[in-house]
């Protein structure tokens, strides 16, 4: 049989990455990234310059089409694989990233009449301006006695589908009316590739309250939330919800022209980017956990059992691997937090020194921070630069560093920031253990394990656990490709299910990160201090929320 290949397309926060993988051997034959030209739109709309409110984060869908156009062709060119040898395509996307589209699937924001309307654009996962709507969903779920939020750690997030769609309805009812559908960006890409309107059980399950047995919450729930939302799930969120690995359709002639692939190639149901890291790391068994470490950090745990876990983002049956419950929890600013420090807060002399040595500011700081012993800097940071998405689930919380003195140096702060995210992860891991979801094996994937060794060692030391590293450089894209191999099916030379495909196609590196006992002891002590700050500022004190309220009030006045 001729060699067969699959393509995985990973839409991250800053760029889209495409890999091509050998169906039998796995790994990555070639990869290519296309940066989003518009990036993340946080201050004003492109073109008109219309100002956005606080906590907004938009993207432009043309950037995603550019990834399909550029990077798919590039991996074919680099690898020398012929289009007819590609049997399947898989797509993963950050989530909950949504957009309003018309009946043909055209995004409203590219239509002339809606170009200046912020609500017509893609709302990126980290758009946090729907916190009020999320709060009202939480209050109403409690009052109405609906129990579905128990699967989401008891709280809905401002990042998710219903809060975001409701914000559109509240602030731009004409856009809500004009939208034929609100779709997850991953499902939209699948629609663009195949012409089919299909929703993924992964994003519907984790981000839109959909449940394998119960479907969406009852109409009555939405009606009492807001009478205008009564038919939301039958209209704007309509579409068959299909399980991961299913074939969503075949590549249309138009999409074949766009990508350079053959019409008829199998296209898988989309998955969430972090969740694709599960297959991409080959972690397919109960008790295995994957840490998808990039802009944010997602912890993904597989289990035979469904229980309630404090602060979990969601638990979905078949949400990562068929036949298992997949738990997701995480932190919304990890790489982004380190990026903020390098871009916004380091003094000029650090940037100059890094440039002189020909390394990134991250690497310059990492090298110096690695010379410090745990606890030596006397600092403690709390990692809520983009709110808290775990046990506190509150986008209004913000960052904190204590212990600063006139002697504090940038590498010390950098190290404290790396540590703060590891403490946040340990807190989540403890919540899993307390709920009886046991983790026996940990894998790391995403952009950070390959970029920052100190970061990885700190995670091993703070958690006291060995961490295996997924071998693929673009693990999530490989995970998406694995979904493509399953969508192709055995009749086209693919695999029968995700577990079989992942075991064959995904590998881990030989080198692992192991905890260093003397560091573990110091970090145990420091973690207790982290928890004190976590509880004082997160559970009890209102300082951060009040600061946010005052800022919101002032920015509303100045608009």
Ligand X SMILES: O=C(CO)[C@H](O)[C@H](O)COP(=O)(O)O
Ligand Y SMILES: Nc1ncnc2c1ncn2[C@@H]1O[C@H](COP(=O)(O)OP(=O)(O)O)[C@@H](O)[C@H]1O
Segment interacting with ligand Y, rule: CB under 6 A, options 9-17, 174-182, 398-406, 479-487:
9-17
Closest Cα partner for 433 from 458, 401, 409, 465?
465
Residue 296 CB, shortest distance to ligand X, in Å, is: 3
Among 88, 374, 410, 446, binds ligand Y (CB under 6 A): 446
Residue closer to ligand Y by CB (options 339, 489) is 339
The answer to the question of residue 294 lying near ligand X (CB under 6 A) is yes
Q: Answer yes or no whether residue 95 interacts with ligand X by CB under 6 A.
A: yes
- CA 38 vs CA 64, 87, 432: distances in Å: 10, 32, 38
> What residue 246 binds from ligand Y, ligand X, none (CB within 5 to 8 A, per partner kind)?
none
- Region of 107-115, 234-242, 244-252, 266-274 interacting with ligand X (CB under 6 A): 266-274
Query: Using CB under 6 A, which residues numbered 358 to 377 contact ligand Y?
Result: 360, 362-363
Per CB under 6 A, does 507 bind ligand Y?
Answer: no
Query: Is 338 among the residues that bind ligand Y (CB under 6 A)?
Result: yes
78-117 positions binding ligand Y, by CB under 6 A: none
Q: Which of 236, 103, 129 is nearest to 176 (CA)?
A: 236
Question: For residue 242, what are its two tokens?
Answer: 């299909």
Number of residues that bind ligand Y (CB under 6 A): 18
95: phi then psi, degrees, rounded to nearest 5: -155, 145
Smaller CB distance to ligand Y: residue 339 or 375?
Answer: 339
C-alpha span between 253 and 399 (Å, rounded): 49
Decide: is 274 part of the binding site for ligand X (CB under 6 A): yes
Burial class (CB in 10 A: 0-12, 13-18, 19+), 109: buried
Nearest to 502 by CA among 261, 238, 322: 322
> Is 233 an interacting residue with respect to ligand X (CB under 6 A)?
no
| CB of residue 270 to ligand X, shortest distance in Å | 12
- Joined tokens for residue 339: 């990026």
- Interface with ligand Y includes 387 (CB under 6 A)? no
> Which residue in the set 298, 391, 413, 422 belongs to the binding site for ligand X (CB under 6 A)?
298
Which two structure tokens, joined as six digits, stand for 17? 């990455």
Q: Is 323 left (phi over 0), alpha (psi -120 to 50) or beta?
A: left
**Minimal distance in Å, beta carbon 181 to ligand Y?**
25
Q: Would you count residue 494 as binding ligand X (CB under 6 A)?
A: no
Nearer to ligand X, 120 or 329 (CB): 329
Pick the closer one to ligand X by CB: 101 or 333. 333
Residue 95 binds which one of ligand X, ligand Y, none, with CB within 5 to 8 A depending on kind? ligand X
281 lies in the site for ligand Y, by CB under 6 A: no
Query: Is 436 within 8 Å of 308 (Cβ atoms)?
Result: no
Q: Which does 298 bind (CB under 5 to 8 A by kind): ligand X, ligand Y, none?
A: ligand X
Q: Which partner from the list ligand Y, ligand X, none does 125 bind, CB cut-off 5 to 8 Å by kind?
A: ligand X
- Indicate whether 451 belongs to the interface with ligand Y (CB under 6 A): yes
Nearest approach in angstroms of CB 76 to ligand X is 25
Query: Helices marked H in 226-369 — which ranges?
Result: 253-259, 273-281, 335-340, 348-357, 361-369
d(Cα 445, Cα 274) in Å, to the nearest integer? 9
Would you count residue 153 as binding ligand X (CB under 6 A)? Answer: no
Q: Which does 274 bind (CB under 5 to 8 A by kind): ligand Y, ligand X, none?
A: ligand X
Minimum Å gap between C-beta 125 and ligand X is: 5
Q: How many CB atoms are located within 10 Å of the residue 257 CB?
A: 12
Tokens of 27: 């790994």
Q: Which of 447, 479, 484, 538 binds ligand Y (CB under 6 A)?
A: 447
Strands 240-242 and 271-272: unpaired
> What's the residue count for the chain?
559
408: enclosing H helix or E strand: none
CA distance 369 to 361: 12
**With binding defined as CB under 6 A, does residue 295 bind ligand X?**
yes
- Of 117 and 273, CB closest to ligand X: 273
Q: Which residues, numbered 302-331, are part of the site for ligand X (CB under 6 A)?
A: 328
Tell whether residue 7 is a contact of ligand X (CB under 6 A): no
Query: Could you say whether residue 273 binds ligand X (CB under 6 A)?
Result: yes
Q: Of the candidates 159, 250, 336, 419, which one interacts with ligand Y according to CB under 6 A?
A: 336
Q: Between vectors from CA 301 to CA 93 and to CA 515, what angle results, nearest 5°? A: 110
126 closest CA partner among 295, 359, 357, 377: 295
Considering only residues 118 to 137 of the shown chain, the ones binding ligand X according to CB under 6 A are 125
Q: If we measure between CA atoms, which residue out of 349, 534, 477 comes closest to residue 6?
A: 477
Please name which of 429, 207, 157 lies closest in space to residue 297, comparing C-alpha atoms.
429
Residue 39 lies near ligand Y (rule: CB under 6 A): no
> Is the distance from CB of 135 to CB of 548 less than 8 angstroms?
no
For residue 286, CA distances in Å to 161, 306, 321, 432, 528 come to 28, 12, 10, 13, 29
CB of 204 to ligand X, least distance (A): 13
400-402/271-272 β-pairing: unpaired
**How far apart, in whole angstroms, are the C-alpha atoms of residue 353 and residue 362?**
12
Beta bridge partners of residue 512, listed in sequence order:
468
Nearer to ligand X, 61 or 493 (CB): 61
Q: Across-strand partners of 99?
A: 183
Q: Which stretch binds ligand Y (CB under 6 A): 111-119, 401-409, 428-436, 450-458?
A: 450-458
Compare residues 119 and 483 and give the one whose CB is closer to ligand Y.
483
Residue 442 site contact among ligand X, ligand Y, none (CB < 5 to 8 Å, cut-off depends on kind):
none
Residues 54-93, one symbol each (x = binds ligand X by CB under 6 A, - = not), give ----------------------------------------
Is the CB of residue 425 less than 8 Å from the CB of residue 337?
no
Tokens at residue 143, please?
């009052």
Give residues in contact with ligand Y (CB under 6 A): 12-14, 294-295, 335-336, 338-339, 360, 362-363, 446-448, 451-452, 455
- Site residues for ligand X per CB under 6 A: 12-13, 94-95, 125, 272-274, 294-296, 298, 328
């Amino acid at each position: 049989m001729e060699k067969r290949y699959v393509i995985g397309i990973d839409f991250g926060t800053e760029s889209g990455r495409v890999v091509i993988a050998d169906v039998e051997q796995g790994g990555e034959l070639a990869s290519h990234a296309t940066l989003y030209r518009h990036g993340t739109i946080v201050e004003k709309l492109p073109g008109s310059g219309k100002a956005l409110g606080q906590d907004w984060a938009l993207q432009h869908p043309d950037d995603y089409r550019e990834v399909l156009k550029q990077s798919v062709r590039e991996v074919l060119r680099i690898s020398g694989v012929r289009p007819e040898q590609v049997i399947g395509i898989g797509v993963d996307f950050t989530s909950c990233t949504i957009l309003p589209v018309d009946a043909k699937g055209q995004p409203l924001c590219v239509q002339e009449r809606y170009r200046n309307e912020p609500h017509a654009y893609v709302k990126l996962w980290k758009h946090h301006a729907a916190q009020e709507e999320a709060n009202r969903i939480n209050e109403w779920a409690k009052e109405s006695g609906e129990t579905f939020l128990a699967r989401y750690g008891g709280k809905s997030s401002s990042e998710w589908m219903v809060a975001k769609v409701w914000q559109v309805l509240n602030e731009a009812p004409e856009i809500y009316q004009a939208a034929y559908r609100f779709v997850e960006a991953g499902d939209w890409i699948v629609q663009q590739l195949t012409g089919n309107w299909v929703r993924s059980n992964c994003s519907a399950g984790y981000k839109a309250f959909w449940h394998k047995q119960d479907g969406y919450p009852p109409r009555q729930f939405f009606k009492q939330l807001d009478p205008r939302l009564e038919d939301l799930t039958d209209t704007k969120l309509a579409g068959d919800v299909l399980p991961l690995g299913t074939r969503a359709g075949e590549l249309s002639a138009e999409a074949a022209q766009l990508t350079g692939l053959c019409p008829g190639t199998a296209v898988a149901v989309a998955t969430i980017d972090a969740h694709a890291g599960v297959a991409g790391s080959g972690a397919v068994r109960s008790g295995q956990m994957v840490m998808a470490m990039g802009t944010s950090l997602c912890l993904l745990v597989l289990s035979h059992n469904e229980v309630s876990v404090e602060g979990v983002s969601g638990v979905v049956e078949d949400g990562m691997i068929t036949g298992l419950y997949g738990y997701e929890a995480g932190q919304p600013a990890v790489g982004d937090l380190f990026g903020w420090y390098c871009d916004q807060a380091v003094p000029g002399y650090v940037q100059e020194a890094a440039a002189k040595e020909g390394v990134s500011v991250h690497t310059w700081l990492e090298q110096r921070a690695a010379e410090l012993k745990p606890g030596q800097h006397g600092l403690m940071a709390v990692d809520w630069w983009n709110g808290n998405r775990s046990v506190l689930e509150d986008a209004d919380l913000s960052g904190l560093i204590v212990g600063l003195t006139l002697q504090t140096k940038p590498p010390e702060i950098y190290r404290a920031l790396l540590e703060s995210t590891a403490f946040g992860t340990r807190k989540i891991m403890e919540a899993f253990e307390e709920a009886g979801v046991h983790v026996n094996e940990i894998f790391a994937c995403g952009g950070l394990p390959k970029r920052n060794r100190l970061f990885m060692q700190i995670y091993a030391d703070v958690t006291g656990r060995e961490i295996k590293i997924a071998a693929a450089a673009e693990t999530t894209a490989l995970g998406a490709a694995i979904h493509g191999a399953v969508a192709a099916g055995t009749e086209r030379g693919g695999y029968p299910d995700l577990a079989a495909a992942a075991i064959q196609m995904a590998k881990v590196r030989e080198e692992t990160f192991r905890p260093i006992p003397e560091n573990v002891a110091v970090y145990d002590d420091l973690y207790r201090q982290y928890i004190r700050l976590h509880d004082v500022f997160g559970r009890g004190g209102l300082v951060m929320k009040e600061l946010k309220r005052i800022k919101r009030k002032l920015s509303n006045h100045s608009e």
